[in-house]
Structure 1
Amino acid sequence: MGVRGLQGFVGSACPHTRTAVNFKELAELHRNQHPGCAPTVVVDAMCCLRYWYTPESWVCGGQWREYFAALRDFVKAFTTVGIKLVFFFDGMVEQGKRAVWVRRRLKNNQEIARIFHYIKSHREQPGRNMFFLPSGLAIFTRFALKTLGQETLCSLQEADYEVASYGLQHNCLGILGEDTDYLIYDTCPYFSISELCLDSLDTVMLCREKLCESLELSLADLPLLACLLGNDTVPEGLFESFRFQCLSSYTSARKNSDKRGNVILAVADHISKVLRLHQGEKKLEEMLPLGQNKALFYKGVASYLLPGQTSPWIFQKPIGITTLGKQIVSVSTDPEFKPESLVCTHPESKEETPVCTHPETEQEDPMNVEPEMKQQVTMVSDTEILKVARAQHVQAESYLVYGVMTSGEIECSNTLEDALDQALPSQAFVYRPMRQRVYSLLLGAGGGGASGGPVVREWFVHSGNPLRHPDLVRPLPMNVPGGTPSLKVLWLSQEPGIQARRMDTLLACLDLSSSREELQAVESRFQALCCLLTYLFVQVDTLCLEDLHAFIAQALCLQGKSLGQLMDLQLEHVEPRAVQLDSLLVRDLSMLVLVNSACGFPWSSSDFMPWNVFDGKLFHEKYLQSDRGYTAEVLVEQDRSRLTRFHDLKSIVCKACVREDRHIVSRQHWRPHHSGRWERQGSGSHRTNSGHSRSGRRQHWRDQGPGSRQCEPGWWRRHSPSSGHPDEKGKQQPISLSP
């Protein structure tokens, strides 16, 4: 994140740019200078997740009630001294930064592999040096903060620009985050979250004015410096030779700076003593080796210009830079889109280098003015519905919906999944049919058969996927009793009975319409859990009865646990399979946010927020107990009322699964296969509703090639992307896991 090498340089070579401050004192000063204006700190939430997640346990899927308490304490510390907080979250990945996103995800895959290797070797959680954020943390943090009454916003692009713009336009006390881009933007003061002491509200302010003094630059020069050093827009390798030339001719290298620090000093020196000599006489591309990356470089410089700001280094904003306050990223609707069209390999670097978004802009003079903004191409043409979707997105009330409806593209980051475990599928595959039905609701299923209809580009991280291409996924038709209602009906209607229609649609997205009557008899706080478990067990037939017992017992026992009891819970050991099940369930909850918002919010989000239904350590304890064969009475801690609910919930899930020809059996009726998969003892054969057998050999989902193929409706059932037998309803019938 931010400018390459600048964080270390500021800490080692420019310590005077770091000033110790106290938020309480700053707030008092701000009130004196701006009477009637509440001191406001705008928070880059994505930078703060590691700071906020203080629970000791993290590998088991998240200690969500502890985490919620930590967020509550954070908010209270600021509001107690009269400081208003405004939180920003990243809303989507800009096309120009996709290559950076991919590199980070692939690096995370390596970190996850090391985590699972450690767990298998030591049967315990790794140290904090291997800490990895629990799945879904960013998504659920938005809802936690809204529950705490905080203003929480989701960006229409990467959040740093909107954070800087908000801070400047609203005369904020400052920005709280951990991104050196905030040293480059000409905006309100920037404070470090990593240096924050919550008890005293002491932290460090990083002063861009003092940085400029040290580098002999002006504030207007900082965007140019950032792009020459490399950032998330301009790859570091692009100007490697240029920086080497600057360093070779630089004669004032500081002894207290490392090589990287001296490179920064040398580039700053070149800007102040060479480039400024011809400033205003020559265009920047005449003084720098921009070559074919001219448009990209100007886009990078302009990306730091907040509304109303200009740069002496570019006379006018480059073509193709628009909208959303910062820049236009035009959306390709070509289903054959491939990100390679956005990248090239610079001769000075082995890294992929993003270039401008559309080929036609590469040949144009980036100094020309575009007379009117380009109109954004969207997947949905109904402006009224798009306006609602946009508002829900910005207010952090929905998840993924707006991205599907506008760009037809979504992404999901890494999940704690063991790439070497053949028995459990990736969440990317497990929840794809659910997503496909949501796409049908949002975009329409299309009438052109397998090759017609809209295509959604999914960037989902899973084992073996190099992320060179998105998965091209088509909507999957769903069966809603009475027909699928329009989005206007689901989102805007106030007619009597509309909530029932919304619930019908939600159940259809999960393919659980036949279970509606049983689900209505369940307490509202357990309805979502029953739906999610049913969906999960239908899709993944390597889950067994012991797993179901652990999931249900955990949810029931959580209701009676205090925060202290959850914090004090100790595990005998950590089981890697349970770690994956943790992640599957949490991702299940996050997918329900997507389904619930797409269907017009038939459920209250509080019914499936993880701090109300899930605790990682508690599930792990129940998993270990259930795996050892403990009775239901022991699993629910000898509580009679819980035991009754346990059997009721189990019965609902099992009956719903049987309707889908999924019989949940004990692990005692399975035997491990040498490949690491599981197979049933006996014939291993079941009949589907359409009469097709699930017996026989099939290609396992992990043996499938990653990502570049198109995914047709019904292409995947259970947890395999292999082909099966379509029934009369267009469903994909599964084939047995048995080899």
Structure 2
Amino acid sequence: MGVKGLQYFMDCCCPGACVTVNLREMARQHADKSQQGFTTTANTTNPTIVVDGMACLRHWYSCKDWICGGQWREYMDVLKRWVEAFTSAGIRLVFFFDGVVEEKKRQAWVKRRRRVNRDVSKMFRHVKAYGEQPGRELFCLPSGLASFTRFALSSLGQEVFCSVQEADYEIASYARQHGSMGILGQDSDFIIYDSAPYLSVAKLRIDSLTTVLYDRQRLCQTIGLAVTQLPLLACLLGNDVVSEERMQHVRNNAMETYRTNDPASHSGAPQGQMVLAVSHLVCSLWSREEQQTGLIPQSLDLSAPQKELVKKGVRSYLLPGQEGLQQGDISVPPCGFEKHVSPEILKACREKHVAAEGYMVYSVVCEGVIECSNTLEDEEDAELQPQALVYKPCRQRIYGLLLLQGHDGSSDDLPAIKEWFVYPGNPLKEPEIVPAVPNSLPGDQPSLDSLWFGSGSEVSALRLTCFLSIFDCQEFSELHGAIEDSLLAALCLVTHIVLQGQTLSQEDVDAYLSQAVCLRLKSPKELQQIKLPFLSSRAVQLGSLYIRGLSHLLGANCASGCPLPNAALMPWHSFDGRLFHSKYLLAHSGTEKSVLLDSDSSCLSLFLHLREKLTETCRKQGRVLQSRPRVTEHKTTPGPRYRGRHTGRPPGGENWRERGETTGDHRHGGGGWRERGEARGDPREYENSERLWDRGGGMRGGHFHPHPHSYSNWHDGGPQNWSRPPRQSRGRSYGNTGRYQLAPRWSQPPAPGT
């Protein structure tokens, strides 16, 4: 979040401290100084920039489509070009991402999440009103972007770290310790830390590798402070530790004094006046003697609790090796689950987390807290459950796998995790306490040490069984090795969504599976050229639901000892938002299966096989899929930018929040969706009242029949030639070669339209 008003002050009131730099030239100069021994480190061969990954996400995700769930392959290409621009200039990059939300910043996190929720609501109203993606004023990053970007950068050979405390602190510490040439980010806290120069990612021009360097020395010369006094200035202005409200009276007094002593200051901007006023206050209070005796001037007019808070804030800016640092203030808090896991597991959790190789397990085992940011979910949709509830049963089983080793099965002393999940209806006033649940496995819960560190075929089989059991998909073990790992993962995920989401239809499943199968044959350019005649708000939500599910797959895989390569669980191998949206519209318009599968016989055969496995597994658990074609109205004229509240509410009667929520396995107790009979009623009650009346299309016999020249012709960006020979299905291998390999299984298709 940074220091209140400081970034504005430097940009608008202190231009001398904003220096345009060429990073290539800066790297050459830094390398020359390193060779002369002027830096504190000699263990790196290339000049290093430490990158604040979270601050870069909005700049990296430049893909046109963001609302449909993400254009992940295009995004991978963007990251690759971005990294290559620096490496070609001889610059080494080290990336840091937020790994935890510290409790002292929880309220700031909650406040931010509520603000984003309001934008998400406006976004859905716009889509339902106009059938199109809103403008950048309502832009939201695709779900899971931060988590998957860590793995994406690692796959590109980059060094990536995940923080175990405040990420800004770890970034500044690393940069100072290793003599880095700069910190690339967009947070004014990097001006306060006495570390490497702060470089702006917002002003970065990747083609020329130029940006703006914020010079803290020139800032100090302008405001009359020493670098060591900047932490106090930050706390009095307001930052993540000391809220703006707590120091309001100090700033008011400083402003009054400043205006009295310098009447000419009234001509400046209020934000600039405030920074100068507080700077003058700090300078007047802090004599050299006081600077040597404490973190803050003794004469500062604060109560005892306020002084302790400011001291805590000042101390948060002191890096290792700097005066006044107290190691106890930055140590990692003790874990609450030591009795449930071995020391080796605790160590492995932390190491994998720091190296950005794990997911979820550190937060569960070492912190006992897990959070999930905003997802594109329609708060006015009374039918689809939020992702937090859809995936709650599998999270509970992940917790059980991690924490219930050797547990006798009694309900006494069951470990529970604090969950901060953002979803419609959750006020985020306190965490939800979610207990661990044992997995449905033969025999006792397996030892986590054997799962993680064991070897042999029996252990490998047990890992896969544990992974599949988390999603109620043990029957799919026979598919392991017969189909690509990414398709096996997608099949598990869609099956779980169907089992938990009782209102999903056969058409929804067809959309999910067909896009996963067809994606393997699509290049990023082909995916970008897909034309969508309109957007469906329901498809938007289903796309985000899938992506959130991939993160749960990743967590389950890490907890199970990685029976599948993590690479197979990345979205660029099984999902593209634009492709999924197109398949959704096709599936719900009654398109023949051969057309849905791009007239590719091998794709069609594989699709039908996966669908048969899913249907069979769901049927065994009492879930029978029904056909419920539905599409939203196609607006023929593009709508303006969002300009008001969309007051219409979707049909479907009572809201899911009013009906209660599922809190565990959907097959047991609690008045779940199936036990209320919702999945067995008249399928027409689930149909949207709005129908597509596209040019040449209409309803005949209760089903939508598109004109032969309507939507399907635009699926791949123009009229399709169905007479072309079918393409060979190519499966992606996750071995060392990284090459595509032929996957000839399921090569004999049944009759088209099956």
TM-score, structure 1 normalization: 0.84
Aligned pairs for 1:606-625 (under 5 A) are 606-625=567-586
- Which residue is equivalent to 1:62? 70
Contact 2:487/2:517 (<8 A) preserved: no
- Which residue is equivalent to 1:695? none
Q: Does 1:500 align with 2:461?
A: yes
Q: CA deviation at 1:511?
A: 2.0
Q: Does 1:434 align with 2:394?
A: yes
- Which residue is equivalent to 1:724? 671
Equivalents in 2 of 1:669, 1:663: separation in Å?
Answer: 18
Contact 1:484/1:505 (<8 A) preserved: no
- Which residue is equivalent to 1:702? 657
- Which residue is equivalent to 1:364? none
Equivalents in 1 of 2:603, 2:527: separation in Å?
Answer: 18
Q: Given residue 416 of structure 1, which amino acid in structure 2 is its aligned partner?
A: L
Q: Given residue 19 of structure 2, which amino acid in structure 1 is its aligned partner?
A: T
Aligned mate of 1:466, from 427, 432, 439 = 427
Mark the CA change 1:321 to 1:647 in structure 2 (over 3 Å): closer, same or farther: same
Aligned mate of 1:524, from 466, 480, 485 = 485
Aligned mate of 1:145, from 135, 153, 172 = 153
Where 2:211 maps in the other structure, the secondary structure is strand
Equivalents in 2 of 1:38, 1:288: separation in Å?
Answer: 48
Equivalents in 2 of 1:453, 1:84: separation in Å?
Answer: 46
Q: Deviations over 1:386-432 (max 9, x none)?
A: 00111100110111211111121110100000011011111111111
Mark the CA change 1:263 to 1:644 in structure 2 (over 3 Å): closer, same or farther: same
Equivalents in 2 of 1:379, 1:417: separation in Å?
Answer: 38
- Which residue is equivalent to 2:181? 173
Q: Given residue 25 of structure 2, which amino acid in structure 1 is its aligned partner?
A: E
Contact 1:12/1:257 (<8 A) preserved: no
Aligned pairs for 1:552-591 (under 5 A) are 552-591=513-552
Contact 1:415/1:583 (<8 A) preserved: yes
Aligned mate of 1:129, from 112, 134, 137 = 137
Q: CA deviation at 1:436?
A: 0.3
Q: CA deviation at 1:378?
A: 4.8
Q: Deviations over 1:295-328 (max 9, x none)?
A: 33211110100001125xxxx749x61315xxxx
Aligned mate of 2:234, from 223, 226, 230 = 226
Q: Deviations over 1:210-229 (max 9, x none)?
A: 11111100010011010111
Q: Deviations over 1:185-241 (max 9, x none)?
A: 000111000111111101110111111111100010011010111111111100111
Q: Given residue 653 of structure 1, which amino acid in structure 2 is its aligned partner?
A: L
- Which residue is equivalent to 1:306? 319
- Which residue is equivalent to 1:207? 215
Equivalents in 2 of 1:520, 1:724: separation in Å?
Answer: 38
Mark the CA change 1:718 to 1:294 in structure 2 (over 3 Å): closer, same or farther: farther
Q: Deviations over 1:690-720 (max 9, x none)?
A: xxxxxxxxx96422689xxxxxxx833449x
Q: CA deviation at 1:540?
A: 0.3
Q: CA deviation at 1:501?
A: 1.1
Aligned mate of 2:168, from 154, 157, 160 = 160
Q: Given residue 301 of structure 1, which amino acid in structure 2 is its aligned partner?
A: V
Equivalents in 2 of 1:663, 1:520: separation in Å?
Answer: 28
Equivalents in 2 of 1:301, 1:145: separation in Å?
Answer: 33
- Which residue is equivalent to 2:17? 17
Aligned mate of 1:43, from 51, 57, 72 = 51
Contact 1:208/1:219 (<8 A) preserved: yes
Aligned pairs for 1:532-681 (under 5 A) are 532-667=493-628, 676=650
- Which residue is equivalent to 1:485? 446
Mark the CA change 1:400 to 1:677 in structure 2 (over 3 Å): closer, same or farther: farther
Where 1:580 maps in the other structure, the secondary structure is helix
Q: Deviations over 1:455-476 (max 9, x none)?
A: 1000000111111110000011
- Say which is worse superposed, 450-459 or 242-251, in terms of deviation: 450-459
Mark the CA change 1:379 to 1:52 in structure 2 (over 3 Å): closer, same or farther: farther
Equivalents in 1 of 2:605, 2:322: separation in Å?
Answer: 65
Q: Given residue 241 of structure 1, which amino acid in structure 2 is its aligned partner?
A: H
Where 1:667 maps in the other structure, the secondary structure is coil
Q: Deviations over 1:609-652 (max 9, x none)?
A: 11111110111111111111111111111111111111111111
- Which residue is equivalent to 1:422? 382
Q: Deviations over 1:479-535 (max 9, x none)?
A: 223543211111111233321111011011112223423556433331111111111
Where 2:240 maps in the other structure, the secondary structure is coil
- Which residue is equivalent to 1:715? 663
Q: Given residue 272 of structure 1, which amino acid in structure 2 is its aligned partner?
A: C
- Which residue is equivalent to 2:197? 189
Q: CA deviation at 1:549?
A: 0.8
- Which residue is equivalent to 1:273? 284
- Share of identical aligned residues, percent? 42
Q: CA deviation at 1:254?
A: 3.4
Q: CA deviation at 1:14?
A: 0.7
Q: CA deviation at 1:586?
A: 0.3
Q: Given residue 88 of structure 2, which amino acid in structure 1 is its aligned partner?
A: T
Equivalents in 2 of 1:662, 1:180: separation in Å?
Answer: 53
Q: Given residue 171 of structure 1, which amino acid in structure 2 is its aligned partner?
A: G
- Which residue is equivalent to 1:389? 349
Equivalents in 2 of 1:448, 1:611: separation in Å?
Answer: 39
Mark the CA change 1:73 to 1:653 in structure 2 (over 3 Å): closer, same or farther: same
Equivalents in 2 of 1:484, 1:530: separation in Å?
Answer: 25
Contact 1:401/1:597 (<8 A) preserved: yes
Where 1:152 maps in the other structure, the secondary structure is strand
Q: How many residues get paired?
A: 651
Where 2:287 maps in the other structure, the secondary structure is helix
Where 2:142 maps in the other structure, the secondary structure is coil
Mark the CA change 1:669 to 1:241 in structure 2 (over 3 Å): closer, same or farther: closer
Q: Given residue 119 of structure 1, which amino acid in structure 2 is its aligned partner?
A: V
Q: Does 1:112 align with 2:120?
A: yes
Equivalents in 1 of 2:67, 2:552: separation in Å?
Answer: 20
Contact 2:417/2:435 (<8 A) preserved: yes
- Say which is worse superposed, 416-425 or 512-521, in terms of deviation: 512-521
Equivalents in 2 of 1:635, 1:659: separation in Å?
Answer: 27
Mark the CA change 1:668 to 1:271 in structure 2 (over 3 Å): closer, same or farther: closer
Mark the CA change 1:103 to 1:577 in structure 2 (over 3 Å): closer, same or farther: same
- Which residue is equivalent to 1:260? 271
Q: Which runs of 5+ in 2 are unaligned?
A: 36-41, 633-647, 682-754
Equivalents in 1 of 2:297, 2:253: separation in Å?
Answer: 17
Q: Deviations over 1:156-189 (max 9, x none)?
A: 0121100000000001111001000000000011
- Which residue is equivalent to 1:83? 91
Q: CA deviation at 1:89?
A: 0.6
Contact 1:9/1:257 (<8 A) preserved: no
- Which residue is equivalent to 2:693? none
Q: CA deviation at 1:447?
A: 4.7
Equivalents in 1 of 2:110, 2:208: separation in Å?
Answer: 39
